[in-house]
Structure 1
Amino acid sequence: MAPLCVRRLEELPPDALALLARAEHDGIELGAPWLRNFLGTMPELCQGAYFHLLCREGRAVAVLPLLARADTAQRGRVQSLANYYSALWAPALDPTLTAAELALLLRDVVRRHAPLRSLHLAPMDPDSRAWALLRAALRLAGLPAWDFFAFGNWYLRTEVDWAGYLAARPGELRNTIRRAEKRLLKAGARVEIVTGGERLVTATRAYEQVYAASWKQPEPHAAFMPGLIRTCALHGWLRLGVVWLEERPIAAQLWIVAHGKAAIYKLAYDEAFKALGSGTVLTARLMCHVLDVDRVAEVDYLMGDDAYKRSWMSQRRERRGIVAYNPRSPRGLMGAAGEALIRLLKPLRDKARP
């Protein structure tokens, strides 16, 4: 077994890229196209990116994308190559990889990032093979680890079309959609769904205009979203919905359809036109599109337990994270002791609450 480390996505060999492509079926955040835009639009993260590889008989069997901060406050802390834009993270693993083999790679991570204090790996699917293998590998590598809550994730698994889906929704939501449709029709608004082509630039600008007029804070990395839209269009994943009132965009949503799943990634509306309910109508139209045209098996509302998601989705799961400490580092040992104490005292604190 040979652990390796490269700093740039372009340096990954074809077999490692193939592992990322396979992992991408669980979420586009795990694949090379996402990572290329992610790193290309955030240079400060690019400087701390590491791709740790494990090779067996000359072939990559694991890719561990990590981020090591250089600033003093974060020194010794290595985390998953992910941030607030990422709804999922996981290493790319060969189906034959064992926990003992992955432990070899983790030991190499500790060595290369010495003096490593802690590993923070999130957000992950706690029901995935990658999660179970990582937990086992961390134990074998001598890195005590604990899991933590990242965020709630509302989703829908479905085999029905739009009509069947709508019939199963709460009556309140059906009525809200019907009333909003009438208001938009009366106002003369129209809905457009762009997947690429000559309307891509116009739709991207419309999205940015709506986002700027919404209640949301400006993007911390202005180039990320336009880059993601272009990436999705290039790979056939883009479903960019826009509601137009005459020539003014008043609502926009980015849905990503890949590998049989639709991810509701970003949504916004112009607050000046909130009363029209354009966001509700746009969600309904995009849902209809992904069910009847794309025929996806799953729709995912990604991050957060916002109350409105319960009306559109049918199931909830959690994304969780793993924090592991290096007990051979003084700061790591202190971190592990502190974590153990917090976990020990939590049941007592919960019991003491009225």
Structure 2
Amino acid sequence: MGKPVEPLNIGIVGCGFIIGAYLETFPKLDAVRLVAVADLDRARADAVAAEHPGVRSLSVDELMADDEVQLVLNLTIPAAHAEVALRALAAGKQVYGEKPLAANSEQAATILEAAAEAGLTIGCAPDTVLGTGTQTARRAIDDGLIGKPISATATMMTPGHERWHPNPDFYYLPGGGPLLDMGPYYVSALINLLGPVASVIGAASHTRDSRTIGSGPREGETIPVSTDTHVTGVLVHESGALSTLVMSFDAVATKASNIEIHGETGSLIVPDPNRFEGDVQLRSLGSDDWETLPVSAGYVDASRGIGIQDLALTEPGAEPRASAQLAFHSLEVMESVLRSAHSGQSITISSTCARPEAVPLTELSVHA
């Protein structure tokens, strides 16, 4: 990787809740520069621009046509991800999107095809896997501290987002549910740790037909549930390792680790893949205790948006670590788990991706 002479100019489409996390990160990054924002609600874009000197508020059409914008950060709702990405690519701009890459793998495939035809780079969240938590675990595996990896478990248990989210309807509609909502963090981490997935088999359940909103102006309102709310899958990695994935909106709590990796000579506890940092613990064969490993890899003090910095520093022709190919493969894996849950059949994954390059221990350079 080499540092660009000038920062990559970013234009954001979508000024909803998630933009705040990116706006906090950009001042830490010396390889990117925010120059413009746009939203269908122009007032929201105006408000962001007013608080950030040098950032212009534009319409979506104006932002797509603006020659200063080199990369479009797509923070729209998932249903609009494909449309916005395709418009940006058609305008000759690189794209980095919030997860998922698109609402489904068919739409995501059109994005990959358009980018290849245009010779443009696409990146996609989650970029949490680039932080010191997952990357220190990756370093431990690559250094042979657990021997040959055999299996993994990845667990996310919660009673459901309706307890805290004021408008949780979409979590319980087709395209929602615990796997498609939170799974990208876990599946992306497992691919970074163990490599791409060859096949899956899944099972799922739907325990309640309605949920009650627990906060906000709609508190007490009942909403329908029309998607699976507890999903279990077994991912067979190309390496032969087996990952067991459990994603639930039906459980009260769990003491299980977010991710555990087990090898022939040791086991690792990997921190929450929805976070950038956290302790990695190792228990070696014959040891009576877990030891906390020193931080040895990853972007230090990273936060949402570090994937854009990584993209900006990627050599031309190479894939960024938070790549669209990884996002596409993860999406197909999750969709296939759900299809398998209803068919009862193992499903072969048609796509693959390179295991992303490891991140060496890297301090961020703050803008002067």
- Which TM-score band applies after superposition, normalised by the shorter structure? under 0.3
Structure of higher CA gyration radius: 1
Question: TM-score, normalising length from structure 1?
Answer: 0.28
Question: TM-score, normalising length from structure 2?
Answer: 0.27
Q: Which structure has greater helix proportion?
A: 1
